[in-house]
Structure 1
Amino acid sequence: MPSAAERTRTLVQSTCSAVLLIPGVETTRPEQLSPQARVVGPDGEVFLLYPADSPAVRAATHAQDDELSAVLEITDVAPVSVPHRIRGRAWISGWLTCVPGLAEPGFMMLRLEVGELSVDDLWGAAEVEPEEFAGASVDPVVAHEAELLQHLHSAHGEQVQGLSALLGDQRGEGAGGGQQAVPLALDRFGLRVRFVGERCFDARFDFPAPVRDITELRRAMHTLFEAAGH
């Protein structure tokens, strides 16, 4: 399974929605606290792009030499329609400063120096050390995951449903029969499917080996569907 640090880093560098929570800073438009872009720096710091007149930039500018604490909250929502659609959340708390000169005119780059990190997702809840986060790699599937899950759901529903044949004793009564199989999450280690019906449960289908790119992913998915068909 992916480490907690890898899962957190993947969420930060994904397209999941994010909001910056700053004590004392409130706005009638919550989207003003959502960064327009975010990237992780070489030392594990998180750079956040905002319009120059945003409440986050104003707060960081006024703080100047004082330490301005903030929490970046990331929410991961399944790209396909499924019960209990939120797949996970991550929280990165630290100290916020302005970094002039990194953004184009009209924008400001903010730097979040990481103090504490935690993640609560489909794998479970965990704390993450800043050093582990800085050294973690991003899952190679993340950039294509939403598109691939939507494609699996719309064009390969029968094959996804057929994976219930691999569940064995786990499948319980009715799994794969009256229950709909929805592809829920995809990473370099495998596919997670949510079976929805009288009872709702998730099942993991691991690849023979972790994949490194889309070509290997397609091959691994083909192998998985073949195994379910026999």
Structure 2
Amino acid sequence: MGDSPTWTAAPGAAQRARSVLATAWSCAVSAQGGREEFVGAHTVAEDGRVLLRLPGDSALGAAALCAPRGELPAVLEFADVAPVPVRDRIRARLWLTGRFAHADEHLLFQPRRVVLRQAPAAVVVDPEEFAAAGPDPLASAEARLLTHLADAHPDVVRRLTRLVAADSLHGAVRVRPLAVDRHGLTLRVERARTHGDVRLPFHTPADDVGRLTERMHALLTQASAASCPRALQRQRADGDG
């Protein structure tokens, strides 16, 4: 056997958590028994600390001013929503537990505990690993890339299903692109009452959009050499009728 590759076929939990944090547009904050929702109000530092800009009437700002030692314990929640309309669009949830402190006209949040929940379970991420990790290099472009793939190239998605095992496509009524990162593309296979996800790993990581194009072409070349799954053939035949 040859040497093992230095990359993995899926992002690690720390990088996945940082990707959720980097791309989330909204944030829910729970503190002192209350909960507030903020939209477009947070930014993220390189080490994963969260800077929250508050409206003047925010109860959270008043609570932080009155907190002992100027530190307010809180829990921040972020949701990762699939950019392409699919069944069950929440791909992951991220919870950060820590403390707020005042920083000029903002509140600065230092995470002490990091929990990432995605199928099939939740995982606790080491805070130091979280701080040291960065988001996936494709995270900021993912929404645009997946939306373009789904809307402009449904034929490409159909061709890629040739790389999916026939049993995974059994009963499929729709296949849509769910996620993409430097390690691979994930498809959501929807059936009449259920759904499942299938991962198509790249042969080497794609660290920018240019390399992603190359990796997608490699997957399509593999798909062209594969036979069309019987389950999908039956699906098309039924639809043509």
Instruction: Indicate the RMSD between aligned Cα atoms, in angstroms.
Output: 1.9
Q: Name the aligned partner's letter for residue 37 of structure 1.
A: H
Mapped to 1, the partners of 2:166 and 2:158 lie a distance apart of 16
Q: Are residues 1:62 and 2:56 paired?
A: no
Corresponding residue to 2:27 among 10, 18, 43: 18
The answer for unaligned runs of 5 or more in structure 2 is 1-9, 226-241
Match of 2:218 in 1: 223
**TM-score, normalization: structure 2?**
0.82
Q: Are residues 1:125 and 2:134 paired?
A: no
- Give how far 1:169 is off: 4.8
Matches for 1:78-93 after TM superposition, within 5 Å? 78-93=82-97
Q: Deviations over 1:147-178 (max 9, x none)?
A: 11111111111211221211235435345xxx
- Give how far 1:35 is off: 5.6
Corresponding residue to 1:206 among 194, 201, 208: 201
Identity of aligned residues (%): 36
Mapped to 2, the partners of 1:24 and 1:66 lie a distance apart of 18
Secondary structure of 1:83's aligned partner: coil
Q: Are residues 1:116 and 2:116 paired?
A: no
Q: Are residues 1:192 and 2:196 paired?
A: no
Q: Please tell me whether the aligned partners of residues 26 and 41 of structure 2 are also in contact (alpha carbons under 8 angstroms).
A: no
- Give how far 1:50 is off: 2.1
Mapped to 2, the partners of 1:123 and 1:10 lie a distance apart of 18
Match of 1:4 in 2: 13
Q: Please tell me whether the aligned partners of residues 169 and 189 of structure 2 are also in contact (alpha carbons under 8 angstroms).
A: no
Match of 1:38 in 2: 43
Mapped to 2, the partners of 1:151 and 1:224 lie a distance apart of 17
Q: Name the aligned partner's letter for residue 73 of structure 2.
A: S
Secondary structure of 1:134's aligned partner: helix
What is the aligned residue count?
A: 215
- Give how far 1:146 is off: 0.7
Q: Name the aligned partner's letter for residue 2 of structure 1.
A: P
Mapped to 2, the partners of 1:146 and 1:165 lie a distance apart of 24
The answer for unaligned runs of 5 or more in structure 1 is 101-107
Q: Are residues 1:50 and 2:54 paired?
A: yes
Match of 1:167 in 2: 164
Q: Please tell me whether the aligned partners of residues 41 and 47 of structure 1 are also in contact (alpha carbons under 8 angstroms).
A: no
Secondary structure of 1:13's aligned partner: helix
- Give how far 1:21 is off: 1.3
